[in-house]
Amino acid sequence: MNALRRRLLPLVLIIVAASAGCARAQNADRPVRSSPSIGASSSAASTPPSTATAPATPTAGATPTAAATLIASASASNPSSPTRARPAVTTSAAPVAPRVPPVSAKARADGLIDIRTIVPDAIIDLRYATVNNFVGVRLYPTDARCLVHESMAPGLTTAARQLRRAGYVLVFWDCYRPHAVQVHMFQVVPDANWVARPGPFADSHEAARSVDVTVARAVADPACAASQRVHGHCLLDMGTGFDDFTDRAHAFASYGVSATAQSNRTKLRTAMNAGGLTVYTGEWWHFDGPGADVQRPYLDAPVD
Ligand SMILES: [Zn+2]
């Protein structure tokens, strides 16, 4: 969806919701979307056409502040030592975990966990809890959490650790998505290429086994452009924003995507792949965890 279409979307949807489908049909080279991120299925999402090999390159000054400590190396018994004033920098494997309230009894019974308990430095930017999303209305309560099924914990922990070591943090745009929200999305954009048609079972986001993520620098940057800033941190340039319904959003797109953005997408994929999480080729931000494509009974846990 280009900028003009984005601006016009609310009006267009009011006039004729089917216009989204017409636009989608024009993109003949978009991969067949049996598993959209804004949806419930992920069965065909996971095999990238190439293996990402480029390691993340640390950026100067990008060591995670929460994880970095300065330790005086001099011995107090030898104040004249020339090494006394020289600090050694050590980096812990994980930052201090924030205080996270327990999830609801229903969420706990469904095996859902708050992402902050496994990725303490995660930046939570749930776009569907705001009006800053493709629907243009808030779909989640303002206190919505990023909940994921516990089966995603090992993979997300590994991915976050790999990024952290390179000076980056994961940013979560969407996690568990209640079925009612999926229904609402499809009512607004009834195009299965963009929004998966709600079915009789849950998988992917509806089963809390997929996440929509991007990457930010771990060190807060007040000078970061407003369009790239999230909670004081600067997002890496990925070539498109969230829910950009254009071919440039394809995970391996090169046309119209800068070399820097392609490299940044590789950083994200490499880390997620290290945790066994696989990208949906139609959207660089959508990753599936183990069993994301398995159809399961609906979860009716609240998202907050
Ligand atoms: Zn998604």
**How many angstroms separate the alpha carbon of residue 35 from the centre of ligand 1?**
9
Give pLDDT, residue 195. 81
**How many angstroms separate the alpha carbon of residue 36 from the centre of ligand 1?**
7
Give pLDDT, residue 94. 65
Task: Return the biggest CA–CA distance within the chain.
Answer: 79
Q: Do 209 and 286 form a contact (C-beta atoms < 8 A)?
A: no
**How many angstroms separate the alpha carbon of residue 235 from the centre of ligand 1?**
18
Residues 74 and 71: their CA atoms lie apart, in Å, by 9
Which residues lie below 8 Å from residue 164, measured CB to CB, with a gap of 6+?
64, 67, 93, 94, 95, 121, 218
Give pLDDT, residue 248. 96
**How many angstroms separate the alpha carbon of residue 143 from the centre of ligand 1?**
20
Q: Is the confidence at residue 10, as pLDDT, over 50?
A: no
Please, what is the average pLDDT of the chain? 76
**How many angstroms separate the alpha carbon of residue 60 from the centre of ligand 1?**
31
Domains of the chain (ranges, CATH numbers): 3-73+82-288 (3.30.1380.10)
For residue 282, what are the CA distances in angstroms to 42, 195, 287? 11, 12, 11
Residues 214 and 265: their CA atoms lie apart, in Å, by 8
Q: Could you tell me which of 251, 244, 115 has the C-alpha nearest to residue 175?
A: 115
Alpha helices in 35-167 (DSSP H): 105-109, 153-165
**How many angstroms separate the alpha carbon of residue 285 from the centre of ligand 1?**
7
**How many angstroms separate the alpha carbon of residue 212 from the centre of ligand 1?**
5
Handedness of CA 39, 143, 163, 96 (dihedral sign): negative
Residue 8, class by beta-carbon neighbours within 10 Å (0-12 exposed, 13-18 middle, 19+ buried)? middle
Give pLDDT, residue 93. 58
Neighbours of 209 (CB within 10 A): 26
DSSP at 47: -
**How many angstroms separate the alpha carbon of residue 100 from the centre of ligand 1?**
24
**How many angstroms separate the alpha carbon of residue 44 from the centre of ligand 1?**
13
Give pLDDT, residue 59. 33
pLDDT band of residue 24 (cuts 50, 70, 90) is: very low
**How many angstroms separate the alpha carbon of residue 89 from the centre of ligand 1?**
37
Q: Is the confidence at residue 254, as pLDDT, over 70?
A: yes
**How many angstroms separate the alpha carbon of residue 153 from the centre of ligand 1?**
17
Mean pLDDT of 288-302: 94
Q: Mind listing the pLDDT tens digit for each residue in 124-169? A: 999 999 999 988 889 999 999 999 999 999 999 999 999 999 999 9
**How many angstroms separate the alpha carbon of residue 219 from the centre of ligand 1?**
26
Q: Do 211 and 170 form a contact (C-beta atoms < 8 A)?
A: no
**How many angstroms separate the alpha carbon of residue 66 from the centre of ligand 1?**
28
**How many angstroms separate the alpha carbon of residue 223 from the centre of ligand 1?**
30
**How many angstroms separate the alpha carbon of residue 73 from the centre of ligand 1?**
47
Apex 225 CA angle, 95 and 164, nearest 5: 20
Residues 18 and 9: their CA atoms lie apart, in Å, by 11
Q: Mind listing the pLDDT tens digit for each residue in 49-103? A: 333 333 333 333 333 333 332 222 333 333 333 333 333 333 455 677 778 999 9
**How many angstroms separate the alpha carbon of residue 102 from the centre of ligand 1?**
25
**How many angstroms separate the alpha carbon of residue 86 from the centre of ligand 1?**
47
Q: Mind listing the pLDDT tens digit for each residue in 89-110? A: 334 556 777 789 999 999 999 9
Q: Is the confidence at residue 180, as pLDDT, over 80?
A: yes
Residues 63 and 60: their CA atoms lie apart, in Å, by 8
**How many angstroms separate the alpha carbon of residue 282 from the centre of ligand 1?**
10
- Residue 196, token pair as written in the block: 């998966």
For residue 30, what are the CA distances in angstroms to 1, 34, 166, 183, 195? 13, 12, 32, 24, 14
Query: For residue 229, which amino acid is it?
Result: R
Q: Do 83 and 73 form a contact (C-beta atoms < 8 A)?
A: yes
**How many angstroms separate the alpha carbon of residue 40 from the centre of ligand 1?**
9
Q: Do 187 and 139 form a contact (C-beta atoms < 8 A)?
A: no
Neighbours of 30 (CB within 10 A): 18
**How many angstroms separate the alpha carbon of residue 286 from the centre of ligand 1?**
4
Apex 105 CA angle, 102 and 111, nearest 5: 85
Q: Could you tell me which of 29, 22, 5 has the C-alpha nearest to residue 254?
A: 29
Give pLDDT, residue 166. 97
Check residues 178 and 300 and name the one with the higher pLDDT: 178
State which residues have CB under 5 angstroms from ligand 1, the bound ion.
37, 212, 286
